[in-house]
Structure 1
């Protein structure tokens, strides 16, 4: 990588001029502070009056049109838009039809791989951000980021192809900041090299949309290509790096005058964890209920969930990044312990009020969450107008130097300290709940195909749960007179409690049926959840990428439990490298078992609920490498991995 490219990511303190949002607003309106919607209207009015020639753009991967709105409002003429998702295209076409946006655009529903630009009008600039799943946080949690190995990560090649054909002066490419770390930095190198090969000089930088007037912290990499000088990014208009440290636009400001919702029409927040939301302080998430946050009843493990799980927005700050989709506990939730309405979500993403998002709640939320916030796009578009097309803006607009440092990462760290203090205050003010007695219980259960245990009085499987102050016992029987065949013991290295005052858990089985191994673990998990101790086993042992001090022992009756699968189960419990990606040959050597026999065991263990992964389940894992995240069967009816197979055609 050349020095000029490395410098894109180098930050050193320098004394510089800063952008004044007050000045910008006062030059295009009679106000000193405009909402994003009013800013859009004002800058559009200025552009219509002052731009004397058309600047034509093509938008790739348009989504619901967030980036397109921002560029259109600042005077660019959208000639053609390309988007694969039909519902997203319908949204853009509807807003075009009612005469609000994209008046002369050809809005095309097509896979970019099948798109062949056939445009008579010269194109001046191209905008777009390819799908980001290959570089996302979800990909990182799945054991790395697939990056350009994934078909979706290779869509930048289609962007290059279109650029090469239309030959605009420049382009703007948006993506998640995880792109920088994908494939250990190789993905960004490949992308930059591909754009340089067709004649563009490349500038890229991570920016936070909140620094440009969006009521949302949304860190994104913006990559701009130019046939001439390197592009400079605009200085923040809001936050600590702006003129007079103009405050970030808060979530409360954003939705202040949106009509109050009919709560009967909003999705319910219930189920296993819905009742917890009311306890979560504003700005926090599930981590409020962790030991690290000091909660007296830590039912979750630190960093065991995505950051938007039970996330409740702080009204006086921008929200965290709005996601396109998620489960029933995916925030942001309103500080009034409800879902945000679609109109409120539009405001939080700075979509204009008069821009209609089509589809039901799930489809509309996906469109909003997938979009570039239009206000962020407007600021980027103004920079493009000024630098690429020599348009004199009616206000002073200052630009970041390559070596200039921004504060959003430091701000994130300070915010974490603030939320720890907030959690401590909330915990101190809690009323102490009376301690609930743990009651011994007999479980008559069966295991479903999706690894859920359900009660069945007629089941042959019986698990007796005995709870003492220091020790929990679970004993599985299929036959009243059967003898103990194996025993699993769990305790901490330092002899401290596993939970409450319990120092040891024993899982005892009188059955050699393989699925009963899973039943034992699942009953233990259910007892933890029923007694409001831990949400599930992962919360007890911790997310697999973080170490813990729990040790396991496996004792079996001689000559009663035999075979390779039982040998591997015993070794997994003792293997300190579980949770790390390893080559199959490393597993085979350390387990003293042939590769073919070990693979057969892995397939059998998947069948009883072990979350074993390889390149077929997760493209980011290299061929012949495997990951066993947990020492116990962790698949359940919610697991994404449930529908995947270790075998390519299995």
Structure 2
């Protein structure tokens, strides 16, 4: 069974479907750095399945460069990543690229979800017109064009909970009408990432659509429980200590052995090569705030209120909102607060719980919160360490473990062929 991934991002959703046994035809993504990530991950899967995995490990260890890594994979695999913005201007080119990849085959599944900022509650709150004029409100119309062209048996559309309330529900209502016009019925599920084994409180909508000429036995994703669980401390326990600005991009050794959660969640998966455990630097003032925040949390399970800081540490003019702009990732919780794309701008909302390290979380720690495996490497446009590009991709991603559970349930219950 194959799939096309639209608005693919770094490939968290795709990673889950690939693990469950689906085969990607193409990934379509506007962000160039994410497209390199997708190509590198395609190389991982190809090399692993063709007894060439040492070549991938050589890349993680810094023994070969990115072009050398890509030289080991077929040209058609590199061409399967399409770095274009989905829309009227580019659709003919994207259709042509996908058609060449398909080579006459039918499509079983389309997955992906348009950028969510236009539907998110936070995005609307920060916009002067509540995102009413944002063109991203209507990217679902483009999604429907791909359904119409490729006629998959089913589709999986991921987005934020705010889609339900955006435009007082009119966008979701119009989606349902448009998808039905294209021949697809839908079911909308509100899901919690922690129910799928992700150690993060992440709420999302999953829309499953199917051709109206058959009735699938859909999984009840809203009440699904994977049985995988742990504590946030499990994500940090085997990683080397870092100070702010420390770490290396390629090839670090683990500080200790794995644990049950890391094994069950497929995060530690047999390799001894740790990458991208790199932390951003912080100035002296931020470090002082971090020490206060971690002390409050670790001693009393209290969150830092910005207004409670000493006056010399208060540099923001806004004292009436965003009191929790500094927040510790609680090691003793079974799910952290949500990782979002803002982590690419600063780490204040994702302070490491170890006061001695006194920093925000590393790229690898953020990736683990999103349940990405440690052999997943996040690229920048230029080769080499790029914290900002990696954090942005991680914050926007669908947790890989959640995606795999959804894909597993579809394969178990629905015969697409």
TM over 0.5: yes
Instruction: Please give the per-residue CA displacement for 1:398-448, whole angstroms capped at 9, x wherever unaligned.
Output: xxxxxxxxxxxxxxxxxxxxxxxxxxxxxxxxxxxxxxxxxxxxxxxxxxx
Distance in 2 (CA, whole Å) between partners of 1:62 and 1:306 is 34
Instruction: Give the number of the structure whose residues are more often strand, by fraction.
Output: 1
> 2:192 maps to what in 1?
208
Q: 1:344 to 1:193 in 2, by over 3 A?
A: same
User: Residue 229 of structure 1: CA displacement?
Assistant: 2.6
Q: 1:143 to 1:386 in 2, by over 3 A?
A: same
Distance in 1 (CA, whole Å) between partners of 2:146 and 2:365 is 36
Distance in 2 (CA, whole Å) between partners of 1:273 and 1:165 is 52
SS in 2 for 1:135: coil
> 1:352 maps to what in 2?
373
Larger radius of gyration: 1
Q: 1:87 to 1:264 in 2, by over 3 A?
A: closer
Counterpart of 2:341 (choices 284, 307, 324) is 324
Distance in 1 (CA, whole Å) between partners of 2:320 and 2:182 is 42
Distance in 2 (CA, whole Å) between partners of 1:367 and 1:90 is 11
User: Residue 296 of structure 1: CA displacement?
Assistant: 10
User: Residue 381 of structure 1: CA displacement?
Assistant: 0.4
SS in 2 for 1:201: strand
Query: Does structure 1 residue 236 correspond to structure 2 residue 224?
Result: yes
CA contact (8 A) 1:210 1:249 kept: no
Distance in 1 (CA, whole Å) between partners of 2:15 and 2:302 is 32
Distance in 2 (CA, whole Å) between partners of 1:220 and 1:140 is 17
Counting matched residue pairs gives 326
Instruction: Please give the per-residue CA displacement for 1:503-561, whole angstroms capped at 9, x wherever unaligned.
Output: xxxxxxxxxxxxxxxxxxxxxxxxxxxxxxxxxxxxxxxxxxxxxxxxxxxxxxxxxxx
Counterpart of 1:126 (choices 82, 106, 110) is 110
Instruction: Give the number of the structure whose residues are more often helix, by fraction.
Output: 2
> 2:388 maps to what in 1?
362
User: Residue 270 of structure 1: CA displacement?
Assistant: 3.0
SS in 1 for 2:39: helix
Counterpart of 1:342 (choices 363, 371, 385) is 363
Counterpart of 2:38 (choices 88, 92, 96) is 92
After TM superposition, where is structure 1 displaced by more than 4 Å over at least 4 residues in a row? Answer: 100-105, 143-149, 271-274, 283-287, 295-303
Q: 1:346 to 1:328 in 2, by over 3 A?
A: closer
Q: TM-score, normalised by structure 1?
A: 0.46
Query: Does structure 1 residue 376 correspond to structure 2 residue 402?
Result: yes
User: Residue 189 of structure 1: CA displacement?
Assistant: 0.8
Greater shift, 343-352 or 56-65, is seen at 343-352
SS in 2 for 1:133: coil
SS in 1 for 2:390: helix
Q: 1:182 to 1:342 in 2, by over 3 A?
A: same
Distance in 1 (CA, whole Å) between partners of 2:411 and 2:16 is 12
Gaps of 5+ in 1: 1-54, 239-245, 392-650
> 1:278 maps to what in 2?
291
Query: Does structure 1 residue 223 correspond to structure 2 residue 207?
Result: yes
Counterpart of 1:310 (choices 319, 326, 339) is 326
Q: 1:81 to 1:306 in 2, by over 3 A?
A: farther
| Residues 120-519 of structure 1: pairs in structure 2 closer than 5 A | 120-142=104-126, 146=130, 149-227=133-211, 228-229=214-215, 231-234=218-221, 235-237=223-225, 248-261=229-242, 263-265=244-246, 266-270=279-283, 274-280=287-293, 281-282=296-297, 288-290=305-307, 304-305=321-322, 309-317=325-333, 318-326=335-343, 327-328=345-346, 330-336=348-354, 337-359=358-380, 360-389=386-415
Q: TM-score, normalised by structure 2?
A: 0.71
Q: 1:100 to 1:251 in 2, by over 3 A?
A: farther
CA contact (8 A) 1:147 1:187 kept: no
